[in-house]
Amino acid sequence: MIHTVQAGETLFSISEDYRIPFQELVAANPGINPDLILVGQRLNIPGLPSPLTIPFSIHVSLTNRTLTLMVQDQIQKVYPVGVGRVLHETPVGDFIIINKAPNPGGPFGTMWMSLSKKHYGIHGTDDPQSIGHYVSRGCIRMFNHDVEELAHTVPIGTSVFIRP
């Protein structure tokens, strides 16, 4: 998979976002200077499939508090979600799902799917009344049955586009 460097990112922060060892990221990108990466530079992220090979994509509207599952640019299903509240906004941008963890426990409900942004994910909830509201610490909350359905449908590497 290819990552395009964004403003403010470092090679170390990128390795953390994708949960891969720093040295593995350096080794996957011979010829780069680990101390100097540039906005717009393209980096190979080892171990993840190219999102271009995956027919699914996820589109999150923070304003509408919806998550739309697309299959080859056609809407398959729209889910209600809870998103970040004031001072804990959900990050806007383009990410991918990098791993899945069933039954993470606590407020994360019955499924956790990590995004390629450290500390953020799509997950279930132990508070179903929070869905449809600005309530989380930046993650995307779903009803447990919805996040389980989504996790069973989309593979690791699925693109996630979060917009205002």
Catalytic positions, please? 123, 139
Tokens standing for residue 101: 């963890």
- Among candidate residues 141, 120, 123, 122, the one with its CA nearest the CA of residue 132: 141
Quickly list H helices, 5-143.
11-17, 22-27
| Residue 84 CB-density burial (10 A; 0-12 exposed, 13-18 middle, 19+ buried) | buried
Q: What is the dihedral of CA 89, 72, 131, 138, to 10 degrees?
A: -20
